[in-house]
Amino acid sequence: MRIAVFGGDGFIGWPTCLHLSNAGHDIVIVDNLSRRRIDTELGVQSLTPMDSIQERLRIWKEVTGRTIRFELLDIATDYFRVKRWIELYRPDALIHLAQQRAAPYSMKSDWHKTYTVNNNVSATHNLLNALADLEMDAHFVHMGTMGVYGYSDIGATIPEGYLNVGIPNDDGQVIQKEILYPANPGSVYHMTKCLDQLMFGYYAKNDSLRITDLHQGVVWGTHTEQTRLHDQLVNRFDYDGDYGTVLNRFLIQAAIGHPLTVHGTGGQTRAFIHIQDSVRCIELALKNPPTRGERPKIFNQMTETFRVRDLAKLIAEMSGAEIVNVPNPRNEASENDLRVANDQFLDLGLEPTTLKVGMLEEMVDVARKFAHRIDRSKIPAQSAWTSEIRSQISAGKDIDSFNGEA
């Protein structure tokens, strides 16, 4: 297949490109390298040393003999160049990962909120708009998030995207309908992914675009089979307070003797997936597209759920790290259960990589190897969701005073 990977230089994008190139697909990375610019803005760097995209691709060619091309393009701001590029390349599939993906970054200031909305919404719309205008029947695969559902538990499993509801009509009959599961974003970043869902519904209905939306959980791990092939193919590994995700952060903290930073009580339950499974799921989704005229296909891309404090406990027992309950900078429920359906990927043959202490130990070893690259001052999460939380944190209030329900 000819596949355009928008955002192919990022944390999910890079291993996805290698995985699909290895499987024999023709891959072009389209990226504006904004993730590298944001590192510079925040004064942080990936724990693992990352080469330029061109150098990475040179090494990939040297190691495997396979070519991945790179196109420097901003799909959010340069609509006509994007459209022209799609028209010339004529991809069979587009993978859309070209969005600002960190909830804390999206909440840093009003500028960051505006940037995240403008970038994410325009990027999605420009791609859909171009496909529709070019009347191109390419499969559009988007990286969405489990966060579109919110994390509240009503004692029922969260379905894969759609919910069966009964709507009483004026004649007193109850009409059964499948609707999008009610969107319940917990950050401006998550809100953009909810808006994406509306755009997908519209373009699938109006222009018969074939769209798949992957509702992914928190990703852990850093290596895949292909990133292990050469030191310079290594994936990025974020530990800072904005881009580091919880399990990866805890592992890095354990490696350098930093206390594990549990937000609030750590009663938050989230869905997780290993990076290797993430790229496998993208491949499975590519192989199983919706038909023209079908509504967007939605998969829950997760394999396990964990409570934050249980993860911290597991890593503390394994590494001897200390746990510290820090004031939660986010406006989120302090305790929640979570049940999620993921039958579609299991039925398509996904064999989940489950969290095992052995794999965690391997990651702590990677973190120790590059520990000298860590700036400890970048570890605390400092992006507060509301001005009230910000002033409570700076006034040094006890965590229990702002562990309320979101």
Nearer to ligand USQ, 160 or 332 (CB): 332
Q: Does the footprint of ligand USQ cover residue 147 (CB under 6 A)? A: yes
Closest separation between CB of residue 121 and ligand USQ, Å? 16
Q: Which stretch binds ligand USQ (CB under 6 A): 32-40, 127-135, 143-151, 387-395?
A: 143-151
Nearer to ligand USQ, 145 or 224 (CB): 145
Task: Report the amino acid identity of residue 385.
Answer: W
Sign (positive or negative) of CA dihedral 315, 321, 326, 330: negative
Closest separation between CB of residue 53 and ligand USQ, Å? 21
Q: Does the footprint of ligand USQ cover residue 281 (CB under 6 A)? A: no
**The one among 83, 108, 236, 263 contacting ligand USQ by CB under 6 A:** 263
Closest separation between CB of residue 118 and ligand USQ, Å? 18
Task: Determine how β-strand 297-301 pairs with β-strand 162-168.
Answer: unpaired
Closest separation between CB of residue 221 and ligand USQ, Å? 13
Cβ pair 72, 32 in contact under 8 A: yes
**The one among 35, 83, 101, 125 contacting ligand USQ by CB under 6 A:** 101
Residue with tokens 């939605």: 298
Kindly list the distances between the CA atom of residue 293 and the CA atoms of 95, 118, 207, 397, in Å, as whole numbers in the listed order: 20, 29, 8, 54
Residue 150: φ, ψ to 5°: 75, 175
The Cα–Cα gap between 367 and 374 comes to: 9
**The one among 27, 95, 103, 127 contacting ligand USQ by CB under 6 A:** 103
Q: Does the footprint of ligand USQ cover residue 325 (CB under 6 A)? A: no
**The one among 44, 76, 128, 308 contacting ligand USQ by CB under 6 A:** 308
Kindly list the distances between the CA atom of residue 23 and the CA atoms of 113, 119, 279, 364, in Å, as whole numbers in the listed order: 38, 31, 12, 30
Q: What phi-psi label fits residue 264: left (phi over 0), alpha (psi between -120 and 50 degrees) or beta? A: left
The 370-399 site mask, x for binding ligand USQ (CB under 6 A), equals -----------x------------------
Beta carbons within 8 Å of 350's beta carbon, 6+ residues apart = 277, 280, 281, 284, 303
H or E segment to which residue 163 belongs: strand 162-168
Q: Does the footprint of ligand USQ cover residue 249 (CB under 6 A)? A: yes
Q: Does the footprint of ligand USQ cover residue 251 (CB under 6 A)? A: no
The Cα–Cα gap between 217 and 342 comes to: 11
Q: Point out which residues bind ligand USQ (CB under 6 A).
A: 101-103, 145-147, 217-218, 245-246, 249, 261-263, 266, 268, 270-271, 308, 328, 330, 332, 381
